[in-house]
Amino acid sequence: VSNSENKGPRNCHRIVVLGAPRVGKTNILRRFMGKDFEESYEPTIEDFHRKLFHIGGEAYQVDLLDAASERDFPAKRRLSILTGDIFLLVFSLDDRESLSEACELLSEIKAAKAKLLKLKRPMRVPVIVCGNKGDLDSERVVRRLDVGKILGEDIPFFETSAKTGTGLDAMFRALASLGGLPHETSPSRHQVIPILTYRSLYVGQRGRRGSRTRVLSAPCAAVDPLARRPSFNSDLQLVLGSITLITVNPSFNSC
């Protein structure tokens, strides 16, 4: 992403998605990227996506990491957690064990962030919990009351269906609010345009004034098809940089 597209850390956010297998993480991400639900299931090794927004004259970059492959690799998962700004924990309403796994992940996120910030106790982090597969009501085994008892009432919780789209818009808006992003980053609030059209917004030559004004008048976004997850070393440097910042300025909060 060029400097004109990345105007500083406040406009660049990474959402880390975690949860048990087969709970619908991939399809939730597909919905965020503006794609349709996909019925067939293939285990996700790792998915990294980047969506670029132009909203109110500002550029925003949202990176989404589905860390599915890190379930059995605690060290790698910890690094993903430490580089995350916002977290989406997904479980399935027809699978009680997936809720238990979400609870364990929540504790891990809190502990990892607390250690990074050198706090003595687990900290409150920007996390949203999503109970997916709400369309399978006859197979449901997890009730909203159960979630409150297990995760606590202070954790934002949404029941969704990646298949029908139910609850997703509210959940995406809550993610945006939690991360300090404009509500127009929710998929229903912007127009998806080709990546080349998006990049043309930041080229020095304005082209025709009228056409440019039309493009800029409404929130828009593009998916970067060439986006790849930063290397292990890059992520490690990001974490080490955060630690340095905390040492220099104790009031700094990477979340």
> In the chain, what are the domains?
9-248 (3.40.50.300)
Element (H, E) at 63: strand 58-66
For 75-92, the three-class secondary structure string (H helix, E strand, C coil) is HHHHHHHHHCCEEEEEEE
- The CA dihedral of 193, 199, 201, 205, to the nearest 10 degrees, is -140
Q: What pLDDT sits at residue 7?
A: 39
Helices (H), the chain: 25-32, 74-83, 96-116, 144-151, 168-178, 195-200, 209-216, 232-248
Positive or negative: CA dihedral 233, 86, 136, 38: negative
Q: What pLDDT sits at residue 243?
A: 60
Name which of 160, 121, 164 is nearest 144 in CA terms.
160
| pLDDT tens digits in sequence order for the chain, 255 residues long | 333 343 344 588 999 999 999 999 999 999 999 888 888 767 666 689 999 999 988 899 999 999 877 777 888 888 899 999 999 999 999 999 999 999 999 999 998 888 877 777 766 789 999 999 999 888 899 998 889 888 887 889 999 999 999 999 999 999 999 989 999 999 999 999 999 999 888 765 444 444 444 445 789 999 999 998 888 788 887 777 666 544 444 443 443
